[in-house]
Amino acid sequence: MSEGAAKKEDRRKFQAIKGTRDLLPPETALWNRVEQTAHAVFATFGFGEIRVPIFEPTELFARAVGGDTDIVSKEMYTFEDRDETTVSLRPEATASVCRAYIEHGMQALPQPVKLYYIGPMFRRERPQKGRYRQFYQIGAEVLGGSDAPAIDAEVIEMVMTFFDRLELQGAQLDLNSIGCRECRPKYVELLRAELLKVKDKLGPDSQRRIETNPLRVLDSKLDSEQGTIATLPRIADHLCEDCAKHYAEVKHQLQLRGVMYRENWRLVRGLDYYMRTTFEITAEGLGSQNAVCGGGRYDGLVELLSGPPTKGIGFAIGEDRLILSLQESGKAPAPQGRDVYIAWMGERAHATAVRAAKDLRKAGFSVELPPVEQKFGKAIGQADKLGARFALILGDNEVASGEWTLKTLADGSQQRVTEPQLLDFLRKL
């Protein structure tokens, strides 16, 4: 490298990698509120938090999510570790939760086991609004016990309760059943046969999918294909007796819980492990990436990962999209300013200021204590900029008399208070 090139290299400005981003205050306050609400709501449904690793053997995702899915075939961040194992950054967490269920012998616990997780996932997708390469999910899984439709309904009720609590606008639940190992292959064959009859009316992507995965044709958003797709056979008419009964009961159980849904026979999910109940929730203000939550039943997945036969159902919320939607509808909290800015002058006042800051913070107030002495005018200006509600003015007079000056920044009014009076006053606000 030439000296010039080396110098240029030195001055390189680093930027977050495409599809990743920094989350900054004050927005992170909203992220925290969302996550705290998840902890609180999910706890009321008896769910406990699980934290699984960020990377796992590639084979875990390949087997669980499916080797032919977009997620596994195109979107995973995969690398050879030094011991020559191939590992991937997790593109989702259901596979990991099932692995953990098996690894920790959770089938010995009272069933079902109800777990939730919050954290980053990684998919190498084309970035756009609401779609990132590192994104965050809030997900939950119910493993073991029965496949009673009331479990499906309660899991969905829990997401809707969470969205309600956050006042998410326009949450729309789409519901479908995609059958089981018995009835789905028969339906897929029927669908393939019907698709072949109308092949000429479909675009190249859908034509390819007739062979690879006919169900994904139903996912098409192409205007030119909508008329043709509307004439295709619907899975609800081809479910086996058990699946039809299960689906009917899930709908009944949702009604019982007052959960509104829309049946969507075209709802197929991009992961292989699903069977029977599948659902997706969309919200307002998101443009084309408007799915804030996806989920469904995956009986048999634990077995596929070499565990015991186990029922399973769950969902994952796209936290980035949830936050975007809340922001678009003005549900984001106002940035939090400081409660008190301590404007101090002089050595003695400084010692008092340090003590006052400690006491106020202990009482739960947000306090800004300037590290060096400032002129009062400058201090008040700074307090204003930080959005402080009050400035506590501490100079020699105040310290000597024990009567401090509290200035309300909104109207400029001032009052004299002793330290106990100050705490009392602030607590009553």
Half-sphere exposure of 305 (CA within 13 A, CB side): 28
Beta carbon of residue 218, minimum distance to ligand HAM (angstroms, whole number): 15
Residues pairing with 168 in the sheet: none
> Phi/psi of residue 97, each to 5°?
-65, -40
Residue pair 253/271 in contact by the 8 Å Cβ criterion:
no
Beta carbon of residue 213, minimum distance to ligand HAM (angstroms, whole number): 15
Crossing angle of helices 27-44 and 319-328, rounded to 10°: 110
Q: Helix (H, G, I), strand (E, B), or coil: what is residue 310?
A: coil
Of 125 and 194, which has the nearer Cβ to ligand HAM? 125
Planar angle of CA 326, 331, 335, nearest 5 degrees: 110
Residue pair 123/133 in contact by the 8 Å Cβ criterion:
yes
Site string (355-394) toward ligand HAM, x via CB under 6 A: ----------------------------------------
User: Considering only CA atoms, which of 67, 47, 143, 71 is closest in space to residue 103?
Assistant: 143
To the nearest 10°, report the CA torsion of 331, 337, 339, 342. Answer: 180
Q: Is 326 in the site for ligand HAM (CB under 6 A)?
A: no
> 424: which residues sit within 8 A by CB, 6+ positions away?
none
Element at 114 (helix H, strand E): strand 113-122
Residue selected from 315, 341, 365, 390 as contacting ligand HAM according to rule CB under 6 A: 315
Of 142 and 345, which has the nearer Cβ to ligand HAM? 142
Is the alpha carbon torsion for 111, 114, 120, 122 positive or negative? positive
Beta carbon of residue 312, minimum distance to ligand HAM (angstroms, whole number): 8
Beta carbon of residue 156, minimum distance to ligand HAM (angstroms, whole number): 12
Of 134 and 207, which has the nearer Cβ to ligand HAM? 134
Site string (259-278) toward ligand HAM, x via CB under 6 A: -----------xx-------
Which residue's C-beta sits nearest to ligand HAM?
A: 318
State how far the Cα of 337 lies from the Cα of 347, in Å rounded to an integer.
27
Stretch that binds ligand HAM, among 109-117, 287-295, 380-388, 409-417 (CB under 6 A): 287-295
Stretch that binds ligand HAM, among 182-190, 224-232, 315-323, 419-427 (CB under 6 A): 315-323
Residue selected from 236, 291, 332, 423 as contacting ligand HAM according to rule CB under 6 A: 291
> Locate tokens 């039943």: which residue?
297
Of 132 and 365, which has the nearer Cβ to ligand HAM? 132
User: Considering only CA atoms, which of 166, 171, 164, 173 is closest in space to residue 31?
Assistant: 166
Of 156 and 353, which has the nearer Cβ to ligand HAM? 156
Site string (122-151) toward ligand HAM, x via CB under 6 A: -x-x----xxx--x-x-x-x----------
Residues 85-114 interacting with ligand HAM (rule: CB under 6 A): 92, 94
Task: Find the farthest-apart pair of alpha carbons in the chain and give their distance in angstroms, rounded.
Answer: 94
Stretch that binds ligand HAM, among 226-234, 295-303, 343-351, 369-377 (CB under 6 A): 295-303
State how far the Cα of 321 lies from the Cα of 292, in Å rounded to an integer.
6
Is the alpha carbon torsion for 142, 148, 149, 151 positive or negative? negative
Site string (2-41) toward ligand HAM, x via CB under 6 A: ----------------------------------------
Residue ranges in contact with ligand HAM by CB under 6 A? 92, 94, 123, 125, 130-132, 135, 137, 139, 141, 270-271, 291-296, 298, 314-316, 318, 320-321
